[in-house]
Amino acid sequence: MKTNENTPSPPVKPESPEDFDRAAFIKAAAILAGAAAVGAVALVNGKRTKISNEPTGEATVRKLPPMETIPVDRHSDPLLRMQKELEIAMAKPVEQRHWMMVIDTRKCVGCHACTIACVAENKLPPGVVYRPVVTEEIGRFPNVALRFTPRPCMQCNAPPCTPVCPVKATWKRPDGIVAVDYDKCIGCGYCITACPYNARTRDAGEFYTEGTPALQPYEQEPNFEYGKHWKREGHKSPIGNARKCQFCLHRLEVGMLPECVTSCIGRATYFGDGNDPESLVSELAAKPNAIRLLEEKGTKPNVVYLI
């Protein structure tokens, strides 16, 4: 502003009000055209750049202790088979794995064990749930039936939640998991509104045992989401952040199946590498009774339901 003052006023010396107007309009048009060009570049750039800078390649290969004591083949118990397949998948670089979950709704009894196991594993506070079991009542009392649909994050191939993040705090990993960086998330809630499955929730900073004589230690222990150490206290992350199921990534890294899979009493939840044609999940996902939730939304979920 200051420097401009010293130069003689507008370059086109306005003589009449019309000239004055014209000079102003030309300058404004120039500013707007410049701004529009910068904006277009920013938009194209923003749409094209990948947000994730996850490591890939050899560095991501995990040599897990092999399961040698028990022979495992296609006919073994599904948990053993999935454990073996996990070991095989983790021996590949991250970009060659593609995690999938298959849920056999015919085997789900609606016990909610997976929901609670998940809460315990990830030390979830009130208001945050990663895997609720959707419970529908069908029919009219007294002739009713119940239908149960466990709903983890679908880890969509076309996630509607990641492109909306204004600060690049959430992205799709090379192995298909949709991750959140708690240290970057500002907690605006936009991703939460963008998910048609309501799979994202926000940590409001509450504790279940608040208002009782003492906060219980189990709520104050850190969780290990994304392989880091998160202790909920004060205003520190993940308090205030968007939180979601991440297929227990921190467990996978050390050779354990997701908590909901191991805790399912009916063997209704299957997990594995969709890129391995021999895996149990690849086999099940190809069954004729396989569906995905809200397929019309075009999100291409990686959670498959057998009905």
Partner 1 sequence: MKKHWRILLWTLWVIVAVLGVHGFASRLIEGHRHANYGSYIIWGLWVSAYIYFIGLSAGSFLLSSMIYVFGVKKLEKIGRLALFTAIITLCMALISIWFDLGQMFRAYRMVTSPNFGSMMAWMVWLYSLYTVIMVVELWMAMRADLCRWQSEPGVRGWVGRTLAFHRGPLPPEKERWCHHWLKVLAIVGVPLAIAFHGGVGALFSTLSARPFWHTPLMPILFLTGALVSGGGLMAFVVAAFYPHRNDEQRQMVAYIGRAVLGLLLFDVVLEWAEFSVPMWYGVGHEYDLLMRVLFGDFWWVFWIVHVGLGCLVPIYLLAFRGDKLWSVGLAGLLIAVTFMTVRLNIVIPGLLDPHLQGLQNAFSDHRLVFWYVPSFFEWQVTMFIVALGSALFYLGYRFLPLTANQTENSPVRH
Interface with partner 1 in residues 30-59 (CB under 8 A): 31-32, 35, 42-43, 45-47, 51
Q: What is the rounded end-to-end Cα distance, in angstroms, of the chain?
A: 69
Q: Can you tell me which residue has the tokens 């920013």?
A: 42
Between residue 222 and residue 281, which ones bind partner 1 under the rule CB under 8 A?
235, 237, 239-242
Shortest distance (Å) from residue 101 CB to partner 1: 16
Q: Applying CB under 8 A, which part among 56-64, 90-98, 99-107, 164-172 lies near partner 1?
A: 164-172
Which of 70, 204, 215, 265 is in the footprint of partner 1 by CB under 8 A? 204
Between residue 118 and residue 137, which ones bind partner 1 under the rule CB under 8 A?
126-129, 132-137
Q: Can you tell me which residue has the tokens 């050390």?
A: 254
Q: According to the binding rule CB under 8 A, does residue 97 interact with partner 1?
A: no
Which of 80, 113, 188, 256 is in the footprint of partner 1 by CB under 8 A? 188
CA 103-80-249 angle, to 5 degrees, is 60
Which of 198, 209, 216, 289 is in the footprint of partner 1 by CB under 8 A? 198
Residue type, 30: A
Helices (H), the chain: 2-6, 17-48, 78-90, 113-122, 190-194, 217-220, 249-252, 259-263, 280-285
Q: According to the binding rule CB under 8 A, does residue 302 interact with partner 1?
A: no
Helix, strand or coil, per DSSP, at residue 135: strand
Q: Applying CB under 8 A, which part among 53-61, 65-73, 203-211, 258-266 lies near partner 1?
A: 203-211
Neighbour count for residue 201 (Cβ, 10 Å): 21
